[in-house]
Amino acid sequence: MTQSYNESSIQILEGLSAVRKRPGMYIGSSDHRGLHHLVWEILDNAIDEALNGYGQFIKVTLIDERTIRIEDEGRGMPTGKHSSGVSTLEVIFTKLHAGGKFSSTGGYKTSGGLHGVGASVVNALSSWLEVTSFHGGVMSSMRFEKGGSIAKPLQNFGKTTKKGSIVTFSADPLIFTNHVFNAETIASRLKESAYLLDHVTFMFVDERNKKTETFKFEHGLKQFVMDMNEDLETLHEPIALSGMVNDIEVNVSLQYNGGYGENIISFVNMVKTKDGGTHEVGFKSGLTKVVNDFARKNGFLKDKDKNFEGVDIREGCTAIISLKISENLLQFEGQTKSKLGTEKAKSATENIVIEQLTYYFEEERTLANDLVKRFAKAASAREAARKARDEARQGKNAKSSSRALAGKLSPAQSKDKKRNELFLVEGDSAGGSAKQGRDSKFQAILPLRGKVMNTEKASVSDVMKNEELSSIIYALGAGVGSDFDVSDCAYDKVIIMTDADTDGAHIQILLLTFFYRYMRPLIEANKVFLACPPLYKITSGKEGAYAYDDQELIELRSKYKHSTIQRYKGLGEMNADQLWDTTMDPKTRNLLVVTIDDAFIANKKVSLLMGDKAHLRREWINDHVSFTLSEEEV
Ligand code: TSJ
């Protein structure tokens, strides 16, 4: 029998070289995100040790742009002989998936999402790595180079009274497309951990600029919610609820602010559960039950009245939920494994909230009464918004929708939700050019007159009363607030088209705040865009071109000698054809897709944004709304 394939043709990827061949398989990607995964991987081990009660101090030192040191004061890493004959330390850093193997059973582990691939993966992707362990009274160390080869074998340095582990590594620039660690990203992860582990001090040292930051929050979660609400008026001191149910440790802190947003962040074993899960469900159902029971018992809801809905009760609610669950009970769901699936976590969280918040409401009657009155207002605003949405959907009462849009919206001819585009245009005159210039088959124009309302502290009913915003709501036909349903949206793209000046920037920010507050799923579905009108037109004889930024202008000026330059101060200075060519034609335009990837920072900054400090506003836009050029399929 002939061999169907020869053995040498099969490449068996083994050990650390497999990691270097396909880093994405282990750390998600080889870009900036993947790079920081290396840090989280090592840091998680130090945090696990503190989480289990060993050591109260964790220090991270950024040595240069791609080199970082992480140290703890835990038990130190075991260095004795492993069953395979080599030292445990060598196994940890050279064998794949040995990450959790050496850990004692039981206990807590930070194993969310993509973390937990093991220290060997970090070693594989580093140009060098050094580990020092102070374990059982002995100091030992090892050094690896070029993706995990042993450069200095395990060496014992004799007795020590120190305890702990130190790992230093330098990310391999051959692997990463971007190998520069971001100090802010790392510091904010440490800060977050410090809120959650209130007995542990986290220190961050950036040796490049000699900056040191220390994070320690004696009042943990309470301080976390206070800081989240920092820029908002708060209605009371933060409430802490905590306890142990069926081996699950539940810690919750909540504080209502004067705004209308819902901000709930949850963690399991120190790892953020971005997509929520059973613990969030338990928190919400517990909160809803406590409030409705209190409202009925105290006459705020009569027999005939319907219960408040969860969304009414969560307006202005900022809450952190943090659970500690032993490794064997952990279940994660979803594509990114950032949703908790553990069933027991629901009842554990619900029980703690019901038991302790009921008691708190009994003790703090004045506050409870005030809150319930707010919830009642929220409930009636929700009813009003629901009515408006039903009218906006072309149902039995399309009249008020068409009345609201009459003389404003220039609709597209087709009704193709998957293709149509809505341009929100600053001012009537630019609106006129856009109307003439557009492809009316699929492009609709809604001119916005004057300033857009600040929705940061507005309720749904305020928003509905505002002409500009209610016309946007009617045009999209997908509801608003808790009632918003992105699948009903009449457009595939909502494109904000403003002048490239401060007023234009302000309008953009106000509109983004509105979308963030009241149509967040629209942003999450990548349906909100910023149009990019050119800043200059450069003409030389019969030739000409547009420049979209100053850099481009410099380039064009060297290309076209003896040229004249026209600076566009607003959209209104372009005629309809120019506007189409430069800004609206899908074949030639640039659109920036608006994404908000970090709800925590974004929410905080949206509040800040609407304060009186204009420069903070600009900084926020630069830092936290990533305007990435979208790759549109043409
Ligand atoms: F990622 C890593 F492995 F490189 C790493 C591990 C990096 C850093 C900065 C710290 C650690 C680490 C590991 N800190 N503390 C520990 N603890 C243990 O490995 C350990 C020690 C003793 C016992 C025991 O059962 O006696 C169990 C464990 C898991």
Please compute the mean of the pLDDT values over residues 193-215 and round it to a whole number.
Answer: 96
Ligand 1 centroid distance, CA of 123 (Å):
15
Predicted confidence at residue 613, as pLDDT, reads: 45
For the whole model, what pTM was predicted? 0.71
Nearest-atom index, ligand 1, CA of 165: 10
Average pLDDT, the chain: 86
Lowest mean pLDDT, pick from 216-220, 246-250, 564-568: 564-568
Predicted confidence at residue 549, as pLDDT, reads: 83
Ligand 1 centroid distance, CA of 103 (Å):
7
Confidence of residue 105 (pLDDT cuts 50, 70, 90): low
Range 397-533+579-596 has CATH code 3.40.50.670 = yes
- CATH T-level assignment (fold) for domain 220-380: Ribosomal Protein S5; domain 2 (3.30.230)
The answer to whether the CB of 101 falls within 8 A of the CB of 78 is no
The answer, yes or no, to whether residue 2 has pLDDT greater than 60, is no
Determine the residue of 40, 45, 163 to mutate for testing ligand 1's pocket, defined as the one with the most ligand atoms within 8 A of the Cβ atom.
45
The answer to whether the CB of 167 falls within 8 A of the CB of 69 is yes
Confidence of residue 245 (pLDDT cuts 50, 70, 90): very high
Q: What are the extents of the domains in the chain?
A: 7-215, 220-380, 397-533+579-596, 536-567
The answer, yes or no, to whether residue 261 has pLDDT greater than 80, is yes
Catalytic residues: 426, 499, 501, 503
The answer, yes or no, to whether residue 189 has pLDDT greater than 60, is yes
Please compute the mean of the pLDDT values over residues 69-98 and round it to a whole number.
Answer: 88
The answer, yes or no, to whether residue 475 has pLDDT greater than 80, is yes
d(CA 71, CA 215): 15
Phi, psi of 451 (to 5 degrees): -70, 145
The residue whose C-alpha atom lies closest to atom 18 belonging to ligand 1 is: 77
Predicted confidence at residue 227, as pLDDT, reads: 92
Ligand 1 centroid distance, CA of 374 (Å):
49
d(CA 342, CA 185): 29
The answer, yes or no, to whether residue 292 has pLDDT greater than 70, is yes
Predicted confidence at residue 187, as pLDDT, reads: 95
Nearest-atom index, ligand 1, CA of 77: 19
Determine the residue of 38, 111, 165 to mutate for testing ligand 1's pocket, defined as the one with the most ligand atoms within 8 A of the Cβ atom.
165
- CATH T-level assignment (fold) for domain 7-215: Heat Shock Protein 90 (3.30.565)
Nearest to 265 by CA among 198, 372, 332, 192: 192
Domains 7-215 and 220-380 fall in the same CATH topology: no
Predicted confidence at residue 380, as pLDDT, reads: 87
Confidence of residue 112 (pLDDT cuts 50, 70, 90): very low
Predicted confidence at residue 5, as pLDDT, reads: 40
Q: What is the DSSP string of 92-155?
A: HHHSTT-TTTTSPSSSB----TT--S-HHHHHHTEEEEEEEEEETTEEEEEEEETTTEEEEEEE
Q: Is 582 in the pocket of ligand 1 (CB under 6 A)?
A: no
**Interval 373-411: pLDDT, tens:** 999 998 988 887 777 666 655 443 455 667 778 778 999
Q: Is 78 in the pocket of ligand 1 (CB under 6 A)?
A: yes
The answer, yes or no, to whether residue 151 has pLDDT greater than 60, is yes
Nearest to 69 by CA among 155, 131, 16: 131
Q: Is 16 in the pocket of ligand 1 (CB under 6 A)?
A: no
Q: Is 105 in the pocket of ligand 1 (CB under 6 A)?
A: no
Q: Is 551 in the pocket of ligand 1 (CB under 6 A)?
A: no
